[in-house]
Amino acid sequence: MKPLILAEKPSAGRDLARVLKVASKASSGRSSGYLENEQYVISWMIGHLLGYAFPGEQNPAWVKWSFANLPMFPENFQLKEMPSTASQLGVLRGLLAREDVGEIIVATDAGREGELIFRHLYGYLQCSKPFRRLWILDNTDAGIRKAFAELQPGHKFDNLAASARARSESDWLVGMNFSRAYTIKGGDKFSIGRVQTPVLALLVHRRKAIDAFVSEPFFTCTATVRALSGETDETEEARTPFPAQVMAPPDYSGDRFATKQDAADQAAKVDGQDGIVAALDQKEVVIAPPLLYDLTALQKEANARYGFSAKQTLDMAQKLYEVEKVITYPRTDSQYITQEIFKEMPQRMAALPKGYKPLIDLALNRLKSEQSFACVNDAKVTDHYAILPTGKTPSSSMAQPLKQLYDLVARRLLAAFLPPAKVQNTKVILDVSGEKLHAGGKIFMETGWLVAEPWRKGDDVVLPLLRQGDAIHIDKTEVKASKTKPPSHFTEKTLLGAMEKGEFEVGGLENENIMGLEDQSQPAPTVGIGRPSTRAAIIELLVERGYVRREKKRLIATDTGTTLIDFVESTVPQLTSAKITHLWEKNLEDIAQGKDDPRTFITKIKQFTRDGITILARQPAKPRVRPPEAQLQAAKTV
């Protein structure tokens, strides 16, 4: 008897065969869909070999698009074979039926989707053979050998499989039923999704806020200030002029003036006058090292730094994992590692290219002197740990975008184990005959981990050495015109951040800033909506369907997308609620952890769908709008 090792892709199957030294027999090989020797049979999926059948295939009565057939609740969800991979399914059907195959070693991707791919196949072929799970996080040869040494019982992942199945079935129930209902009522083919619709609503709301924004002019007054030399301090630094903003009376709480004349009048009161340092506040701010990357954090950073879309980053990260084997499993939602993995840090750092040596030396020195690091926490690691470089040194011939993405991962590994950065923040209030001005300074006292990610640091804003009570002089003033700015359109970075946090208010979409630096020392506080591995696909789907268009880094809702959200919010607004979708994601996470029952979850989804369809059935039909294709064509001509 021998095991059948089942990988998710042909390339993964060949990697396993190489590590296990399984050379194909004359009767098998790549063209036959499997590899074999005396010990093992190795075969593979080609992604999803099976998919949920469409409504008319689940039930012939549902072929007709009619409210009389809604809602559609299959008693047992039927799977259908994908025509493009039918031959490989036939290979697996034959292998699983072989009498000399005694068990299955499941080597699909280590995650919810990979588990579902196998479980669908196992159930569809009515297989009853025992199986164990190969949980590969590090796709190097050493990582594969380690996973084989730690094979886990298949039943350990039953909850994960139940969560994956509940997610897929709920997506079908919400998507198929509401897409049909809104298409029937709207007169155009509309697409509704459990996650995509709240995300589209967020983009529509932002576009409306920008479209409705009325810019208002305002004026500021900048003064050039010089500290007057005293008896004890006549250094050049002390006499260096610095800028300060003239504040607006009567409460002096801000520095904006409604009219140019107001700003000019206030400038005249201080121009050429002497004054004093009325108040001075200096604080040292400690900026903790960042956590390691999970997929969403990496996608956000790659979009901000290089303009990569979320999908591009995911595809490249998958290639760095599967083909180049220089990073660990990328589809993770953890920014932590375990104590066991922490022991490997010196070896992983040593394998980085020579160009990182100065940073490696700094990190290794701190590893020797420090015992505690925020990113090392066994309790925060479940199925996967954070994205790390493996022990393999990348090839110099890698494509430039792959090098850029690898560089982010390598630098983040080093940054996480470097000291905190320290910033001296200075705030100064100046008094000139009762009129107020304010100035601010920022000096990095210790660069710390920012040496590994220098693009975050920015320039120092240096003030001369000042003390409370020091005399100053206003050399000149300048009035400048400006105007208020609308909210910014979402980029993939900010949209991913919103999806990650599940907070879709206009404000509060970014992590708190410390001295202009985004605080990355804390993880996102919630499970958000969508999964790290699916958020990129949601964005791409909205673009493909013409609901959203890209303008450089910006994501902008189209007229068609706006029309759809207006329609949904006037009928079943819960479909656009990030809060509800977030709660569903939390339910799915609880199912994966064994804390919730998938049957209860599906019952809730069915009731939600039933109530929504009842509401929609009473609604009058809406006028036609341009289909997505026409909207896209119009966008291209702008």
Q: Which residues are catalytic?
A: 329
End-to-end distance of the chain based on CA atoms, in angstroms? 66
Secondary structure element (H or E) that encloses residue 404, with its range: helix 400-416
Residue of 11, 33, 182, 172 whose CA lies nearest to 94: 33
CA pair distance 95, 6, nearest whole angstrom: 10
The residue with tokens 């900010």 is 494
Tokens of 602: 């599906």
Q: Is the peptide bond before 83 cis (omega within 30 degrees of 0)?
A: no
What 3-state class would DSSP assign to 265?
helix
Alpha-helical segments (H) within 574-627: 578-592, 598-617
Secondary structure element (H or E) that encloses residue 225, with its range: strand 217-227
What values do phi and psi take at 287, rounded to 5?
-105, 110
CA pair distance 527, 296, nearest whole angstrom: 12
CA dist 400 → 140, 328, 395, 405 (Å): 22, 19, 11, 9
Residue of 251, 190, 293, 1 whose CA lies nearest to 572: 190
Q: List beta partners, residue 437.
A: 246, 430
CA pair distance 63, 56, nearest whole angstrom: 4
CA pair distance 632, 634, nearest whole angstrom: 5
CA pair distance 41, 27, nearest whole angstrom: 13
Instruction: Answer whether 580's CB lies under 8 Å from 574's CB.
Output: yes
Q: List beta partners, residue 152.
A: 133
CA pair distance 87, 32, nearest whole angstrom: 10
Tokens of 117: 């791919």
Tokens of 458: 């920015």
CA 527 vs. chain centroid, Å, equals 11
CA pair distance 266, 261, nearest whole angstrom: 9
